[in-house]
A = this chain, B = another copy of it.
Amino acid sequence: MTYCVGLFLRGGLVMLGDTRTNAGVDNVSTFAKLYTAGVEGERALCLLSAGNLGITQAVWNRLQEGVLLDGETQTLLTVPTMFRAAQLAGAAIRSVFATDGAALKAQGLSFSASFLIGGQVKGGPHRLFLVYSAGNFIEATADTPFLQIGEHKYGKPIITRVLTHDTPPEDGVKLVLVSMDDTLRTNLSVGLPLDLLVYRADSLALSPVRRITADDPYFAGLREGWSGRMRQTFRDLPSPDWL
């Protein structure tokens, strides 16, 4: 399993993924699921992946080597818009399915892979998409300004209670880390370290990916602070008087 979440904010994008992969509970590894591609001043893109690692790595490799889209071989560095970037990711998934789908099915394995792709290409706005294993995709909007892949349920309630499209990116970072903490506490197949990328709208520049380990002082303080305050907040609520 995996948990990745992307926020679509007026001020930019916040992208967070864990790094755990597992084939059963006795074969656990660390693999980055956050990929970036960009040319400063022209484009900045970020991918987060969930699903079968063989498929997701193959998709990322094809996206770098070039995928046929509308009769042309393109990469994330050549597509003219973010919509085309999402289409290209879909085309890459379909090309891996064409190569590996039948063999996986013959072994009883499902073709499972999904991606978040966010970023901005000069001349257009910043956008965030979720690409499914069939290569189709949806886009985050101001009404629902976040998308998740993988184990999304544990970390969803806090996001739906707090997030709006106008949440500042700094608070967005706080929020995705709390959401991830809710998931880490409950699902062993989601694990540290985390990879975090913040993209500022119209910057057309990739900031460094921040790798967050268990020792990260901000994350450790946030986890402890949030848990303690949640318990206090809970205590402060009135108990039923009809018991």
Number of interface residues of A (CB under 8 A): 41
Q: How many copies does the complex hold?
A: 2
CB distance from A153 to the nearest CB of B (A): 4
Per the bound structure, the CA–CA distance linking A174 and B236 in Å amounts to 11
The residue on B at minimum CB distance from A234 is: B162
Residues of chain B within 8 A (CB-CB) of A222 are: 237-238
Per-residue CB contact flags for chain A residues 202-243 toward chain B (1 = under 8 Å, else 0) read: 000000001000000010011001110111011111111111
Once the chains bind, are B160 and A157 in contact (CB under 8 Å)? no
Per the bound structure, the CA–CA distance linking A160 and B238 in Å amounts to 20
The residue on B at minimum CB distance from A225 is: B237
CB distance from A166 to the nearest CB of B (A): 13
Per the bound structure, the CA–CA distance linking A227 and B234 in Å amounts to 11
Per the bound structure, the CA–CA distance linking A212 and B169 in Å amounts to 38
Q: Which A residues, 162 to 189, have Cβ-Cβ distances below 8 Å to chain B?
A: 162, 169-171, 173-175, 178, 182, 185-186
Once the chains bind, are B174 and A186 in contact (CB under 8 Å)? no
Residues of chain B within 8 A (CB-CB) of A175 are: 234
A173-B240, A243-B198 known; A158 vs B218 contact (CB < 8 Å)? no
Residues of chain B within 8 A (CB-CB) of A182 are: 157
A157-B154, A182-B157 known; A169 vs B238 contact (CB < 8 Å)? no
Per the bound structure, the CA–CA distance linking A238 and B223 in Å amounts to 11
Once the chains bind, are A239 and B185 in contact (CB under 8 Å)? no
User: A161 in the interface, Cβ–Cβ < 8 Å?
Assistant: yes
Residues of chain B within 8 A (CB-CB) of A239 are: 170-171, 173-174
- 17 residue pairs of the A-B complex, CB under 8 angstroms, read A157-B157, A160-B185, A161-B185, A161-B227, A161-B230, A170-B239, A170-B240, A171-B235, A173-B239, A174-B234, A178-B234, A178-B237, A210-B242, A221-B238, A222-B237, A225-B237, A230-B233
Chain A positions within 8 Å of B, measured between CB atoms, are 153-158, 160-162, 169-171, 173-175, 178, 182, 185-186, 198, 210, 218, 221-222, 225-227, 229-231, 233-243
